[in-house]
Amino acid sequence: TLDVPGKGKTFRFHADAGKEFVAEVFARRVGSPLDPLLTVYGPDGKQIAVNDDFERPNIGLNMQHVDSYICFKAPAKGVYCVTLTDTAGAGGKDYGFFLRLDRPRPDFRVYMVPSGVWLSPDSAADPVKIVVEKLDGFNGEISFELQNAKTTSLAGIRSIPAGASESQISFSTLWTRSF
């Protein structure tokens, strides 16, 4: 926690030149009032990266993008410092956080907006927006397929091209009516 108002926390780690690292704060996403500011300092004490707010897709209940994220390449071998503070200088027992210091792990999350579709016999649903949250530098193509869907199929576009962050997909049904 940042339990003392106006006082931050510093974390140190050793890195080799050219290695990539991720510093990511989970605070607001886990219910903390903390508005984090992350700063990375190199072995020479100079600031090499800073992040206040890292914007993510507007999915779910948390519409404020205040958690910080930095992906950086160590310019030299040595001890690096990551400093975490609150942008308003606040703090207290409720100002908890998780700090991820890690190597990049490229990945993605896919969200459908709206999160569900209604299909009826012999119909096709309106196109549904697909949003991608790219993690740690992921930039590849994402393909879609339905599994165990005997009466439903994807119609039209079935992937999000490399570099894109959203697309649309459509569903159609193969149901038959019985009266």
Does the structure show a pLDDT above 70 at 159?
yes
- pLDDT exceeding 70 applies to what percent of the chain? 88
Place 61 in a pLDDT band, splitting at 50, 70 and 90. Answer: low
- pLDDT exceeding 90 applies to what percent of the chain? 53
Q: Closest Cα to residue 144, out of 154, 134, 152?
A: 154
CA distance 138 to 134: 5
Q: Are 62 and 55 in contact (CB under 8 A)?
A: no
Place 50 in a pLDDT band, splitting at 50, 70 and 90. Answer: very high
In one letter, which amino acid is 127?
A: P
Question: How confident is the model at residue 37, as a pLDDT?
Answer: 96
Most trustworthy range by pLDDT among 89-93, 119-123, 157-161: 89-93
Q: What is the pLDDT of residues 97-140, one digit of tens each?
A: 999 999 999 999 888 877 777 777 666 667 888 888 888 989 99
Indicate the range of 12-16, 30-34, 83-87, 132-136 predicted with least confidence.
132-136
What's the gap between Cα 59 and its chain centre?
11
CA distance 47 to 143: 39
3-state SS track over the chain: CCCCCCCCEEEEEEECCCCEEEEEEECHHHCCCCCEEEEEECCCCCEEEEECCCCCCCCCCCCCCCCCEEEEECCCCEEEEEEEEECCCCCCCCCCCEEEEECCCCEEEEEEECCCCCCCCCCECCCEEEEEEEECCCCCCEECCCCCCCCEEEECCCEECCCCCEEEEEEEECCCCCC
CA angle 5/10/11 to nearest 5° reads 145
Question: How confident is the model at residue 168, as a pLDDT?
Answer: 86
pTM tops 0.85: no
Neighbours of 87 (CB within 10 A): 13
Length of the chain: 179
Q: What is the pLDDT of residues 25-39, one digit of tens each?
A: 999 888 999 999 999
